[in-house]
Amino acid sequence: MNKHRNVCAFLAILLVSSLLFAQGKQEVPASKANQEITVYAYDAFCGDWGPGPSIVETFEAKTGIRVKLVSSGDAIEMLTKVKSEKNNPIADVVVGISDDMAAKAYEANLFEPYASEALESIPAFLQIDGQHRLLPFDYGNFAFIVDTEKLSKEDVPTSLMELTDPKYKNKVLLIDPRTSSVGLGMLLWTIEVFGEEGYLAWWQAMKENALTIAEGWSSAYGLFTEGEAPLVLSYTTSPVYHVTYEETTRYQAVLFTDGHSTTIENVGLLSSSKNKEAAKLFIDFLLTDAQLEIATANSMYPVNSQTILPPAFDWAPKPEKSLSMEASAIEKNLDRWLTEWTKVMSR
């Protein structure tokens, strides 16, 4: 998710996090040392600014288990990659399957149920799978972020429909739902707000206003921070990064009267893993010791209720209405929705 990242100054965070969760964690027996697991994660999680590298370093130091962290594109690309390797599996753990991709993950029969003890500290509304094939590690709400130095307060939109006003022509950065889980979240958000009878009309109108429709979140947000457009699709929690690492409140989340679609990012244990014990320990670590770092580096909310958030999260406004769609509806209709979207946007 959000995927603003910086690996600087996390030693203090890790110390606090370790103290917070140490009481519930088991150390790995000596017999487990020198094992290796392969973890697939989305690009931003693995990058220099993402939480992945430092989380892996801390986990390896604590357990003696080596982790090969593989950057595997966006969530959609990552799921496609794992499916393509089904007959010749490589990964043990997959990090970053969003809830709107869960049905396709279950359909592929890739993940093994794992009821981690950490789930006791995670609220039930975040646990999207009763079988525990996917376990949540962070969550947030989609939102548009505004550059307050480029757009005056009076010109900030207050709804999805207002974004279609011609005054926003070339001022909005969107993301392709076929290649990005963030873009897919936007597509589902419009269906939740406008229904099947109205969502394509919104996208048709937005074709005129979007400066570009980027392939992924990282490229879209990069254009945004470079000043190419004053509005970008991201998360309500995105300002946390800028407050924490840049000490600026220039970039702010805009709350819409429509409500905001929720996203939950999950981790899963692959059934094909030959190192399941070590893989489960890594998942436990993500859901406990690593929660504060994930929240801060990803600028997303942690799922573990024991996590104490820093004051920067005060700059993440909370929507009055959070929207979500039934997994069964996504499973039944997603392919058709994507086909319809492609037809409209390619005309």
DSSP state letters, 272-300: T-S-HHHHHHHHHHHHTTTHHHHHHHHTS
User: Amino acid identity, residue 86?
Assistant: K
CB atoms within 10 A of CB 159: 14
Please give the pLDDT value at position 236.
98
Spatial separation of the C-alpha atoms in residues 126 and 308, rounded to whole Å: 18
**What local confidence, expressed as pLDDT, does residue 42 receive?**
92
At 32, the pLDDT band (50, 70, 90 cuts) reads low
User: Which residue's structure tokens are 């590690």?
Assistant: 137
Count CB atoms within 10 A of the CB of residue 322: 14
Compute the distance between CA of residue 61 and CA of residue 55 in angstroms, rounded to an integer: 10
**Among the ranges given (7-11, 31-35, 71-75, 260-264), the one the predictor scored with the smallest mean pLDDT:** 7-11
The predicted pLDDT at position 12 comes to 35
Question: SS3 of 261, please?
Answer: strand
Asked whether the predicted pLDDT for residue 18 surpasses 70, the reply is: no
DSSP string covering 95-120 = EEEEGGGHHHHHHTT-EE----GGGG
Q: Which helix (H) or strand (E) holds 327?
A: helix 327-346
**Which domains does the chain carry?**
11-139+264-314 (3.40.190.10), 140-261+320-331 (3.40.190.10)
CA distance 119 to 172: 38
Residue with tokens 């396709």: 104
Among 254, 287, 346, 298, residue whose Cα is nearest residue 116: 287
Helix (H, G, I), strand (E, B) or coil at 139: strand
Rg (alpha carbons) of the chain, rounded to whole number: 20
pLDDT in the model for residue 119: 98
Q: What's the average model confidence in pLDDT over 186-213? A: 97
Q: How much is the pTM? A: 0.84
Q: Which two tokens stand for residue 19?
A: 């103290």
CB atoms closer than 10 angstroms to residue 11: 10
The yes-or-no verdict on residue 3 having pLDDT over 80 is: no
Q: What is the pLDDT of residue 38?
A: 98
Tens-place pLDDT, residues 82-114: 999 988 999 999 999 999 889 888 988 999 999
